[in-house]
């Protein structure tokens, strides 16, 4: 083969390669495009639009009027709004605290136990623990309302028979205990997901490490604390972040189902998502306010962005090094 002929061959191959590459990129675009378009249309755009809408106010006749950052000034400057905002924020942080301390601890503990039993038993238990999560939040709310109801008598009778009658109180109706009670109900329902995540992480730990620790004389409990948990710290971090985001957005469903739109008693169970709903949708005699609702939504988003950003920058880095 002379130089020209081999050059021809190379040119042919080059053309084929380029064609092949183009086909490949087209395929790749084809693979990515549907997901990207749905995501942009129904997730990114509405969010950006909500931010935009926070700069407008709705008038009586339904039109929109540009007000710039007035609504933000209102939200933080006017006590009528700022009191509600900071009440909701504080409650939400307490709600999150309950979830981190109770829910994620229980999930971690149960996951640890599950890692010790046979695969069959583990599957069996995991299924059971996951059932509350699958049940509709309205059902969960109602069921627990009935169980805790002072009228229906299950909990009062139970406490009575244990001689603890004086400890019983209408927890869902008292400002001092309503938020914690709703928080615990939420924990009861949502243990399943963190449990699955922790469990997957635990069983991904190489057996050799565990056996090595056993040879070193560590019991199961010590092994759990000193070997397993440190190895799954990144997972714990991710779970906590997801819990944070969930508590600030998904908590609405349960609280609305149990305590109603006014998040009583005396707004003690009002969190950011219920505050948002009540503001932009209205409630009873209170008319909805889309502009202010968008403002609250934007603030919540910025808060989440800030916290997650901080976490990724400060903690996740340290954990990776660890």
Quickly tell me which residue has 């957005």 as its tokens. 249
Least distance between other proteins and beta carbon 98 (Å): 17
* Of 234, 244, 228, the residue nearest 315 (C-alpha): 234
Shortest Cβ distance from residue 75 to other proteins (Å)? 11
How far apart are alpha carbons 39 and 37 in whole angstroms? 5
Q: Identify which of residues 14 and 124 has a Cβ nearer to other proteins in the complex.
A: 124
- Least distance to other proteins, CB of residue 97, Å: 19
**Residue 129 Cβ, how far from other proteins at the closest point, in Å?**
6
Main-chain phi, psi angles of 56, to 5 degrees: -125, 155
Q: Which is nearer to other proteins, 5 or 60 (CB)?
A: 60
**CB of residue 116 to other proteins, shortest distance in Å:** 5
Residue 94 or 168 with smaller CB distance to other proteins: 168
Residues 6 or more apart whose CB falls under 8 angstroms from that of 256 comprise: 263, 274, 277
Tell me the longest C-alpha to C-alpha distance in the chain. Answer: 103
Q: What end-to-end distance do the CA atoms of the chain give, in Å?
A: 60
94 or 265: CB nearest other proteins: 265
| DSSP reduced 3-state for 56 | strand
Rounded distance, CA 290 to CA 271, Å? 18
Residue 8 or 225: which CB sits closer to other proteins? Answer: 225
């Amino acid at each position: 083969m002379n130089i020209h002929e081999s050059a021809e061959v190379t040119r042919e191959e080059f053309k084929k390669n380029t064609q092949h590459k183009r086909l490949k990129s087209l395929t790749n675009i084809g693979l990515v495009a549907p997901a990207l378009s749905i995501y942009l249309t129904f997730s990114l755009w509405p969010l950006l639009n909500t931010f935009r809408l926070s700069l407008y106010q709705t008038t009586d006749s339904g039109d929109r009027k540009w007000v710039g950052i007035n609504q933000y000034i209102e939200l933080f400057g006017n006590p009528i709004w700022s009191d509600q905002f900071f009440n909701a924020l504080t409650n939400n942080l307490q709600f999150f605290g309950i979830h981190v301390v109770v829910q994620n601890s229980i999930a971690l503990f149960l996951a640890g136990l599950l890692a010790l039993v046979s695969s069959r038993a583990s599957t069996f238990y995991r299924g059971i623990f996951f059932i509350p999560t699958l049940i509709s939040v309205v059902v969960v709310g109602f069921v627990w309302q009935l169980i805790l109801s002072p009228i229906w008598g299950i909990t009062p009778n139970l406490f009575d028979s244990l001689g603890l009658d004086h400890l019983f109180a209408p927890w869902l109706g008292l400002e001092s205990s309503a938020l914690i009670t709703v928080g615990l109900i939420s924990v009861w329902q949502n243990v399943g997901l963190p449990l699955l995540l922790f469990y997957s992480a635990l069983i991904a730990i190489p057996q050799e490490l565990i056996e090595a620790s056993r040879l070193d004389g560590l019991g199961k409990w010590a092994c759990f604390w000193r070997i397993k948990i440190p190895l799954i710290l990144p997972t714990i971090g991710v779970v906590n972040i997801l819990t944070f985001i969930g508590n600030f957005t998904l908590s609405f469903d349960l609280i609305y189902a149990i305590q109603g739109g006014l998040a009583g008693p005396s707004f003690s169970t009002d969190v950011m998502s219920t505050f948002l709903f009540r503001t932009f949708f209205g409630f009873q005699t209170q008319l909805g306010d889309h502009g202010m609702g968008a403002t609250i939504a934007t603030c919540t988003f910025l808060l989440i962005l800030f916290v997650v950003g901080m976490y990724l920058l400060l903690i996740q880095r340290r954990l990776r090094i660890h």
